Structure 1
Amino acid sequence: MDGERLFCDVGLARRIEHAEARFVAACSDAARARRGGTAGFTRPLAGGVAAFAEADSPFNKVAGLGFAGLPEDLDEVEEAFAELGAPVQVELCHLADPSVGAFLTARGYRLESYENVLGRRLGGPVEEATGEVRPCRDDELETWLTAIADASTVTDTEGLPSHEDLTREIIVAALRDMAGVRRYTAERNGEFAGGASFRVTDGIAQFAGAATVPVHRRRGVQTALLRTRLAAATAAGCDLAIVTTLPGSKSQQNAQRQGFDLLYARAILVKGTSATRSSGAESRQAS
């Protein structure tokens, strides 16, 4: 990696948000497939996507708006969420068309929180990971899912608090439904210490699903997992890696130490009754 900082213009933000929308859609579809195709939906909306996977799913949201005009058919989407007893959560990039934010607030959407999107160019050398990090084997999947979920329920206290409150069962289901991800396991002294994953979408490596077992925190576990994934994403031909974090969190600090730049913030806008919500982002997991 060279020393030049990564600058995010509207074009790059559009590319990242479109990749995020594709990730949300794929995960929502995977959740419904797991449940046998029962109630839910994935539908295009003004260049983005609106999705409902299952009750309290991290993938019940609207993503990718703001780069293809106003969501004129939002009435139908709001009705679809209401029929399923869920609020509408919109994640809106601050580089999106400002008219979209005005459109949403005029309809009664309220600002509930923020999240940060960070990115790093790929293609140059990556520092070698220290510690024991390896791909998660297929026969380890259930152990990996439960261990990451358990670790995720013990959240870090640095940075802004999350607006989400997920049960262990919801986290396990969300991690299972992350379609197309590559999972990694980190060990310390022969014990499971943490894990993380990433997905490739249109040349973008989307880092997600990271957590460290509390007793192993502050021991470089997430640094090792970040470096391993950076190397793997580079080998996969990606030109960009992105990660989403809570503002001021340990996850954000870890990412910036590994060369990620803060690209933009997403506003979390909600209409309807609040419910437990999340996404595939690393910020939702303890680091």
Structure 2
Amino acid sequence: MNSHRTPLFCDTELAARIERVETELIGACARAAHRRIADGRGFVLPLAGGLASFADDDSPYNKVVGLGFGGVPTAEELAEVEHAYANCGAPVQVELSHLAGPEFATLLTERGYRLESFENVLGVALADKYDVAVPDGIAIRRSGDDEFDAWLDLMADAVAAPDTQGVPWREEFPRDTYIAAERDASTADIIRYVALRDGAISGGAGLRTSEGIAQFAGAATSPAHRRHGIQSALLSVRLADAAAAGCDVGVITTQPASKSQQNAQRSGFDLLYTRAVLVKHPESA
């Protein structure tokens, strides 16, 4: 990367655009889960420019996203959301950008929400075109529906053995839950990629584009193939594809101080903002 490049500055307008795209993604995944399960329990409720979503028991899509850029929710709106989660026996998990108005954290804290973790949103201003850099012995290609099950198995195995650098994820999901969530995500216009090292499937990743934002989603490498440049190769190919799709900003969400964050920053991504994860459990709802 160019050491003299200007870091991407994130103002509230850009943060709002990123959060809208994230809201769109979570809503699409949750609705896919509702179609898959069809038990009538799930919900997607609009909330102050964002949404509250319950997809399935223990789903990673059970969360409140996109708050802070479309007005402040009323006490009645929050009570409705809290009641909906309580009926499902689930906590209310709010992912709140630190660029949201300070009144949001005060409002949620007063209602019994507790800070449980953080996640970082990193971004890069995309160039018009990229030269793809892939090490010898590694190939990256798009992954079609014909190998979806193999892609799912690879991703599930890789996620089950995460790198231990940095702050760990607040939640861990059983394999079946992870696979179901990825099946739901496959309906949300995510392009899948597979990495091969010496001909063996060794890694995978996703890319979704909306509103000029490229979301770099779900990259993972099998433990036996780590530290060989696969993550960087997957990112290089997706950067080129995002630029070709006309996107101007790419984003990655990572845990603080993680290997994923380190790799992203080495590839030119800048820390844009942090999301605080504030949780209210059913017993206090």
- Normalising by structure 1, report the TM-score: 0.93
For residue 183 of structure 2, what is the aligned residue in structure 1? 176
Describe how 1:87-106 pairs up with structure 2 within 5 A.
Answer: 87-106=91-110
Residues 26-35 or 108-117, more deviating: 26-35
Once the two structures are superposed, the pairs formed by residues 50-69 of structure 1 within 5 Å of their partners are: 50-69=52-71
- Residue 281 of structure 2 aligns with an amino acid whose one-letter code is G
What is residue 115 of structure 1 aligned with on the other side? 119
Aligned residue for 1:147?
A: 154
- Name the aligned partner's letter for residue 125 of structure 1: K
Q: Per the alignment, do residues 273 and 224 of structure 1 end up closer, same or farther by CA in structure 2, a change over 3 Å counting?
A: farther
Moved more, 123-132 or 79-88: 123-132
1:143 deviation in Å?
A: 0.7
1:265 aligned to which of 255, 258, 274: 274
Query: Secondary structure of the residue that 1:177 maps to in structure 2?
Result: helix
Amino acid at match of 2:198: N
In structure 1, the partner of 2:238 is 229
The letter for the 2-side match of 1:41 is F
Q: TM-score, normalised by structure 2?
A: 0.93
Structure 1 residue ranges, 4+ long, deviating more than 2 angstroms after superposition: 123-127
1:237-265 alpha-carbon deviations (Å, 9 max, x no partner)? 11111000000000001111111111000
Which AA in structure 2 matches 1:199? Answer: R
CA distance in 2, matches of 1:176, 1:256: 29
| Contact map agreement 1:129 1:225 (CA 8 A) in 2 | no
Identity %: 55
Please give the residue correspondences for 1:1-287 in structure 2 after superposition, counting only pairs within 5 Å.
3-36=5-38, 38-72=40-74, 73-130=77-134, 131-178=138-185, 179-272=188-281
* Deviation at residue 273 of structure 1 after TM alignment: 5.3
Tell me if structure 2 keeps the 8 A contact 1:175–1:209: no
Structure 1: gaps (5+ residues): 275-287
Change (3 A) 1:234 1:119: same
Q: Does the 8 Å CA contact 2:242/2:250 hold for their aligned counterparts?
A: yes
Q: 2:128·2:244 contact (CA, 8 Å) conserved in 1?
A: no
Which amino acid is 1:7 matched to? F
The 8 Å contact of residues 53 and 59 in structure 1, kept in 2 or not, is answered as yes
Query: Is the 2:195–2:202 Cα contact (8 Å) retained in structure 1?
Result: yes
- Is the 2:34–2:42 contact (alpha carbons within 8 Å) kept by the matching residues of 1? yes
**Count of residues in correspondence between the two structures:** 274
AA matched with 1:92: L
| 1:37, distance to aligned residue in structure 2 (A) | 5.6
Aligned-pair CA distance for 1:127: 3.8
Unmatched segments (≥5 aa) in structure 2: none
Residue by residue over 1:49-90, the C-alpha shift from the partner in whole angstroms, topping out at 9 and shown as x without a partner, is 110000000100000001122221010000000000100000
The RMSD of aligned alpha carbons is 1.4
